[in-house]
Structure 1
Amino acid sequence: MVDLIYAIFLSLIVVLVPFSLHFVFYKSKLAVDRKLPPGQTGWPVIGETLDFLANGWKGHPEKFIFDRMAKFSPHVFRTSLFKEDVAVLCGSEGNKFLLSNKQKVVQPWLPSSVVKIFPSAIETTKNIKMLRSSFKPEALRQYVPVMDMMTQRHFETEWEGMDQIVTHQVTSNYTFSISCKIYMSIEEPEQVKYLYGPFEEFLTGMFSIPIDLPGTPLRRAINGGKFIRNEIILFIKQRKIDLAEGRASPTQDILSQMLCDEDNRFTGESDFADAMIGSLIAGHDNATSTCAFVVKFLAELPEIYQGVLKEQTEIVKSKAPGELLNWEDLSKMKYSWNVAREILRLAPPLQGFFREATADFVYNGYSIPKGWKLYWSALSTHNNPEYFPEPQKFDPSRFDGKGPAPYTFVPFGGGPHMCPGREYGRLQILIFMHHLVTKFKWEKVIPNEQIVVDPMPKLARGLPIRVYPYKA
């Protein structure tokens, strides 16, 4: 038995050593010949993927970026992630180059595990800009009272009378329920619950280890994605009939607006379903993460909590009993939105995004070959003292006046790649904050609970809190 293990071990050495030497030699020769960005590619095949992911699991995703910025270049460095050669473009110039794409040399790209779960994800990313008209302020105004009513109901059913709750769990349910209503007029609790389970499986496995076997997160995500897509296609078919027969209004929700928009270029139910799924992902994940971190930071920073409470109390005093919030009320929540933006700076739901080079080009004096992947990181500016002095300090005043310089604050992307749902997210976050501080006080159960990023930031134990009714 020992001889057999020894023979297998020697065989692996015989196979792997030449492969590794060839890998190192080839990469080194390519770097010299083409003056590639400085950096390192890590192990054969896996590259630096485990280090990239592990820093997020440990709660310090910025460490991967800043360690290499310090070692190689503050502007651009190369690495290997998800079995791909990757150039990481840093700072506001890197963000601007990739997000504006003025040179027309990059296109969206996603890791293979994401594409396996959501096969049309890249095409949906390209087409998502067609939804912009559905998320303009004039289109969203009508949803503010609806969101307010649903938020009040959420706090009545999920918070009132509870001694302790797990924040991430309840905010996830809350944001998904809101999205189902605003996007597709789905509001029956049983129907929302029916969709929520598969949707969560779909999201959880999206950036999982790409092993497609029964029981793995990837397989569960694939099944969840198929289920959600099929259900939404059925819903779209029925909505088309309802619109044609006058049982649905062209403006009743985002789906109706999409179907009735003469400028959209979606060719069938599948395209509409994919666009809806992409919007649901963005609307759910961004708001869930941000609402949970609102609870965290306001529990830790009493002076910030008092500032938000003061502003929201003034709005309560200006309303008649039972009167719902409106668009004008939200425009008065300036300090609250600055607090939310500072939370988005410190814990951006979108940590970064990938692109693919469609042609050879030169950036900052270095060659980027066609086919290479590129990564922009929000953390390279959000956590950088060059753009935000004392970056670990919580300071909402950073957003007073004109606020941060262009392409330094990028939780929703930037330029033509700005997330079309950012205004929708603002409404949801502010309405949540309004009812949170005017109805409750709370304290963290785990004082030093760790933050993990996988792929979005969240608290390791879901942020359990003790809840108390607010008494003026």
Structure 2
Amino acid sequence: MDLFLLFIATLLAMIIINILFKYFFANPKEKNTLVPPGTFGLPIIGETIHFLVSLYYGLVHEFVQERTKKYNSNVFKTSILGQKVVVFSGPNANKFIFTRGNKLLIGWRPNSVQKLFPSTSFVPIEHDTKRAQNVMSYFLNSQNVETLINTMDYMSHTHLENHWKGNNEVIVYDLVKLFTFILSIRVFMGIENSDKILNLYEKFNIFSRGLLVLDINFPGTTFYKAMKVGKELRKEMKAIIEKRRKELLENPNLSKVDVLTQVINEKDENGKCMSEVEMIDKLFGFIIGSYHTTGTAITLIMKYLEEKNEFFNDIVQEQNEISRNMMPREVLCWNDIQKMKKTWNFVNEVLRDTPILQGTFREVVEDITYDGFLIPKGWKIYLSVGATQKNGEYFPNPTKFDPSRFEGNGLVPYTSIPFGGGQKMCPGKEFARIMILVFLHHVLKKFRWEAKVPSEKILCPFFLVPVPTNGYPVTLYNV
């Protein structure tokens, strides 16, 4: 907590230094009175402190709901990190952001992300998303998905045998995150060397911690360490790309169906391949997005399974039935995944109750009108995920954990958006879904567990994803 307070203090000091000139010499007065209700808070600092504390504790939805109620509006203005921000919530806002807002809004990345991902200076986020979707759609097509499930099945079994079996106690988050990383590196990059994977794992952990911190590139800071290790990773990734390019030139029919090959072969509408910088950034994004978010999701799902015991037996029964129907076949297939409906409903309710990402930022590229309010060009928009997913108007009794919400026809569109929506749907959604379900199938077939720290808190270190403060240590029991 002391480090967190130190970070907040440093952050505020840098905000003051960085925007003091702009604040006093630019004209801060808005000419139009139709801007959304709200307040910019304290001079320069705005409501940054309250927002970041809420983010750290996974309570941004409360930050939003308090102001939504106060201003009687799902749209309100505030000031965060020296930026004028309009906060959106509700299904209409979600739909606007993910569909109709495509030409009016662009993704906004913090300075730290822009510096750690150099291609963001010349590749618009919308173009970036389209290319990522192209790569993943090929990777997950009907011809390749069975091979992917086969690999996930084998690696889940192997991981549990090597790292879980025989241990009375494990820290779930540490082991699951390692598993999702190893799996991602193997299926994305085709790398199987254990020492090389572990080396990359340590470096990616350092790199990812610098994504949402102040971009102070000074020895000892989190951002400095991330930049330093980022250079090392880029050198290694360049060598991997060059090796694969050589293999593809020597053998155009090389049977390596992985993301690395697709990234190298991906071309835009003009037939132009990605630059090397863009390729590396794309691979970094796939890897971090896969192992961080999916590892977190699996950890939270296992925690909820143990805490919500009334649903446990139904899910185990579903998985056991799938196992029986597989015989004599031992490896899961696509049809088995499709039968895991109760399990997936449970997963969706976990992600509704504890969003992996609490929100997303956009930037307004021209004056727009939304819900009767003017939002000027240059302002930022923050779309709150949790404020909608924990709203009783869309989810009756929102504090109650109830997977049946997702049965039948499901929910009102754009109310639950753990993977985004519309044209901005997460490219890795199906990959994450399969990985989660395959791993849960195997862990439920082999183990039962009991939390070592009942009611363990969930926080968002480095403002990234929600993680149990102790990593969710459990006592394991063999089935």
Instruction: Tell me the amino acid that sits aligned with residue 49 of structure 2.
Output: L
Q: Could you say which residue in structure 1 is the equivalent of 2:56?
A: 57
Correspondence 1:125 to 2:130: no
**Closer, same or farther: CA 312–460 of 1 in aligned 2, 3 Å:** same
In the TM superposition, residue 250 of structure 1 has moved relative to its aligned partner by: 5.0
Aligned CA RMSD, in angstroms, stands at 2.4
- C-alpha distance in structure 2 between counterparts of 1:174 and 1:60, whole Å: 28
- C-alpha distance in structure 2 between counterparts of 1:121 and 1:467, whole Å: 44
Q: Of 358, 369, 377, which residue of structure 2 is paired with 1:351? A: 358
In the TM superposition, residue 421 of structure 1 has moved relative to its aligned partner by: 0.8
In the TM superposition, residue 140 of structure 1 has moved relative to its aligned partner by: 2.8
Instruction: Tell me the amino acid that sits aligned with residue 125 of structure 1.
Output: I
Is contact 1:360–1:368 with CA below 8 Å preserved after alignment? Answer: yes
Q: Could you say which residue in structure 2 is the equivalent of 1:381?
A: 388
Q: Of 374, 377, 381, which residue of structure 2 is paired with 1:370? A: 377
Is contact 1:250–1:256 with CA below 8 Å preserved after alignment? Answer: no
The 5-angstrom pairing of residues 205-284 of structure 1 reads: 205-246=210-251, 249=254, 251-261=256-266, 265-284=272-291
- C-alpha distance in structure 2 between counterparts of 1:133 and 1:273, whole Å: 16
- C-alpha distance in structure 1 between counterparts of 2:102 and 2:283, whole Å: 30
**Closer, same or farther: CA 411–167 of 1 in aligned 2, 3 Å:** same
Instruction: Tell me the amino acid that sits aligned with residue 109 of structure 2.
Output: L
Correspondence 1:190 to 2:190: no
Q: Of 390, 407, 418, which residue of structure 1 is paired with 2:425? A: 418
Q: Could you say which residue in structure 1 is the equivalent of 2:162?
A: 157
Correspondence 1:464 to 2:473: yes
In the TM superposition, residue 385 of structure 1 has moved relative to its aligned partner by: 0.9
- C-alpha distance in structure 1 between counterparts of 2:377 and 2:431, whole Å: 36
TM-score between the two structures when normalised by the length of structure 2 = 0.89
Q: Of 296, 309, 318, which residue of structure 1 is paired with 2:325? A: 318
- C-alpha distance in structure 1 between counterparts of 2:472 and 2:317, whole Å: 25
Is contact 2:181–2:291 with CA below 8 Å preserved after alignment? Answer: yes
- C-alpha distance in structure 1 between counterparts of 2:58 and 2:363, whole Å: 27
Is contact 1:82–1:111 with CA below 8 Å preserved after alignment? Answer: no
Q: Could you say which residue in structure 2 is the equivalent of 1:41?
A: 40
Long gaps (5+) in structure 2: 1-15
Instruction: Tell me the amino acid that sits aligned with residue 349 of structure 1.
Output: I
Q: Of 334, 342, 346, which residue of structure 2 is paired with 1:339? A: 346
In the TM superposition, residue 364 of structure 1 has moved relative to its aligned partner by: 1.5
In the TM superposition, residue 232 of structure 1 has moved relative to its aligned partner by: 1.6
Moved more, 118-127 or 88-97: 118-127
Is contact 1:165–1:466 with CA below 8 Å preserved after alignment? Answer: yes
Is contact 1:242–1:248 with CA below 8 Å preserved after alignment? Answer: no
What is the aligned-residue identity percentage? 36
- C-alpha distance in structure 2 between counterparts of 1:47 and 1:363, whole Å: 23
TM-score between the two structures when normalised by the length of structure 1 = 0.90
Secondary structure (helix, strand or coil) at the match of 1:468 reads: strand
The 5-angstrom pairing of residues 17-28 of structure 1 reads: 27=28
Is contact 1:144–1:327 with CA below 8 Å preserved after alignment? Answer: yes
Secondary structure (helix, strand or coil) at the match of 1:120 reads: helix
In the TM superposition, residue 311 of structure 1 has moved relative to its aligned partner by: 0.6
Q: Could you say which residue in structure 1 is the equivalent of 2:86?
A: 87
Secondary structure (helix, strand or coil) at the match of 1:38 reads: coil
Instruction: Tell me the amino acid that sits aligned with residue 398 of structure 2.
Output: P
Is contact 2:363–2:379 with CA below 8 Å preserved after alignment? Answer: yes
Cα shift readout 1:372-404 (whole Å, capped 9, x = no counterpart)? 111111112111111111112111111112211
Moved more, 263-272 or 276-285: 263-272
Q: Could you say which residue in structure 1 is the equivalent of 2:310?
A: 303
- C-alpha distance in structure 2 between counterparts of 1:272 and 1:221, whole Å: 19
Q: Could you say which residue in structure 2 is the equivalent of 1:10?
A: none
Q: Could you say which residue in structure 1 is the equivalent of 2:8?
A: none
Aligned length: 451
In the TM superposition, residue 432 of structure 1 has moved relative to its aligned partner by: 1.1
Q: Could you say which residue in structure 2 is the equivalent of 1:105?
A: 104
Instruction: Tell me the amino acid that sits aligned with residue 324 of structure 1.
Output: V
- C-alpha distance in structure 2 between counterparts of 1:365 and 1:468, whole Å: 57
Q: Could you say which residue in structure 2 is the equivalent of 1:6?
A: none
Is contact 1:249–1:256 with CA below 8 Å preserved after alignment? Answer: no
- C-alpha distance in structure 2 between counterparts of 1:251 and 1:338, whole Å: 34
Higher Rg: 1
Q: Of 435, 446, 468, which residue of structure 1 is paired with 2:453? A: 446
- C-alpha distance in structure 1 between counterparts of 2:443 and 2:395, whole Å: 28
The 5-angstrom pairing of residues 164-203 of structure 1 reads: 164-203=169-208
Cα shift readout 1:73-111 (whole Å, capped 9, x = no counterpart)? 432111111221111111111111111135621111111
- C-alpha distance in structure 2 between counterparts of 1:433 and 1:282, whole Å: 19
Long gaps (5+) in structure 1: 1-14
In the TM superposition, residue 417 of structure 1 has moved relative to its aligned partner by: 0.6
Moved more, 364-373 or 38-47: 38-47
Secondary structure (helix, strand or coil) at the match of 1:403 reads: coil
